[in-house]
Amino acid sequence: MSLLPPETTLTILASNKLGHAMQCEAVARALGISPDIRPVRPGAMFRLFAPSGPPDFRDLRDTPGAALRKPWPNIALASGRETVPYLRTLKKRSPGTFCVYLGDPRTSHDLFDLIALPEHDDYRAKNVISFLTTPHPRDAVALAEARDRPDPRIAALATPRIALLLGGASASYHYETKDIEAIAAIARTALRTQASLMVSPSRRTPPELVARVRTVIAETGAGENKAFIYDGSGANPYVSMLALADMFVVTADSVNMLSEAVSTGMPVHLYEPSGHAGKFMHLIGQLTARHAIRRWEGHFERWRYTPIDSTPLIATEIARRYLQYRKTSSPVIGS
């Protein structure tokens, strides 16, 4: 169901980073609008000067494939540092377009009609809304569809299923040998129970960590119905993992994975690698207070909580603000 009039048009200025583009697509999905996705791929010099510099000159021409071509949309969404110059320029060229940026643009917050920021950024303004978890497309509908038609590799695993979601080094965390051994021990603990283990590394996951988990699986003699690691072969079964997991272990460096896991309502055990959560302590504290996550204490626990998903909340507020904007400003979209 759309939150906006059926004639509403929406363009996504899509970053080259999958996570940023996926957040925008998730919000568009929650709005009930099929977006016009325009990839933003500036040259090296323009990337260097983002977010303060101009967009790539090639995208300033009104030609097929250019990110800043006409027609202008009613709403534009963007996320990621490289997209800021594009959204800023679109707003100048089409003042009637309601421009929304997801995240901290790291420039003036007055450039756009609405900015959706994580709560841990702790910035308040009239055109700023805050959210707890990052937007993602793994909503209740997507999870239900995955349960009805799961990836066969995941469906074949014995129950209960434990999902191990692995991130990698970040500004706050890094992986030392002790972290690799600790996560290997978590995998071993899971496989010594009646549960099966499904592992989803990310592109940031240290290869030695994945190799160590594989060694543990081999040492425990786990068969095909007891363990699965996604190695990039075939379709990514990540949504099926989320949908069929009875428990999770998530590394604290991945806010996106943590946000997706707590949207299921299933127990989420948090493993914190070496380093310090920094500003993400707010997120960890809030999710702990809402009984969605517990720090890993060496054993698996079962509990339930109300699923947490900020995506529909963000979409609802965007829709409300846009309709108010259209009513009070009577914007005229540039042709």
pLDDT along the chain (335 residues), means of 10: 93 94 96 96 93 93 92 97 97 96 90 93 88 94 96 97 97 96 97 94 96 96 91 95 98 96 98 91 95 97 96 97 88 58
> Does 140-295 carry CATH code 3.30.465.10?
no
Q: How far apart are CA 282 and CA 119, in angstroms?
A: 8
pTM for the full predicted model: 0.92
| Domain formed by 10-135+311-329, architecture | 3-Layer(aba) Sandwich (3.40)
Report the C-alpha gap between 182 and 297 in whole angstroms. Answer: 11
Residue 133: CA count within 13 A, CB half-sphere: 30
Q: What's the CA gap between 237 and 107, in Å, rounded? A: 37
* Residue 222: predicted pLDDT: 83
pLDDT tens track for 166-196? 999 998 999 999 999 999 999 999 999 889 9
Looking at the chain, the whole-number percentage of residues with pLDDT higher than 70 is 98
167-173-178 Cα angle (round to 5): 85
Residues 6+ apart with CB under 8 A from 261: 163, 165, 242, 245, 248, 250, 268
Q: What is the pLDDT of residue 163?
A: 98
Neighbours of 213 (CB within 10 A): 24
Minimal CA–CA distance to 93: which of 72, 65, 76, 115? 72
pLDDT at position 279: 83
Looking at the DSSP bridge assignments, the partners of residue 11 are 36, 76
Q: Which tens digit of pLDDT belongs to each residue from 130-172?
A: 999 999 999 999 999 999 999 999 999 999 999 999 999 998 9
Q: Which residues pair with 269 in a beta bridge?
A: 249, 294
d(CA 128, CA 108): 12
pLDDT for the residue 280: 87
pLDDT at 209: 98
Q: Is 297 helix (H, G, I), strand (E, B) or coil?
A: coil
Which of 130, 30, 49, 116 lies closest to 78 in space, CA to CA? Answer: 116
> How far is 136 from 40, CA to CA, in rounded Å?
20
Query: Where in the chain is CATH 3.40.50.2000?
Result: 140-295
Instruction: Give me the pLDDT at residue 42, please.
Output: 95
Cα radius of gyration rounded to whole Å, the chain: 21
What is the helix (H) or strand (E) element at residue 13, kind and residue range?
A: strand 10-14
E strand or H helix at 14: strand 10-14
By C-alpha distance, which of 163, 134, 121 is closest to 256?
A: 134
Q: What are the phi and psi torsion angles at 185 (to 5°)?
A: -65, -35
Reduce the secondary structure of 160-226 to three states and give it as a string: CEEEEECCCCCCCEECCHHHHHHHHHHHHHHHCCCCEEEEECCCCCCHHHHHHHHHHHHHHCCCCCC
310 Cβ neighbours under 8 A, 6+ residues apart: 131, 132, 133, 134, 135, 259
- Specify the pairing of strand 247-251 against strand 161-165: parallel
**pLDDT of res. 328:** 84
CA pair distance 293, 133, nearest whole angstrom: 13
Q: Look up residue 179 and give its two tokens.
A: 């972290």
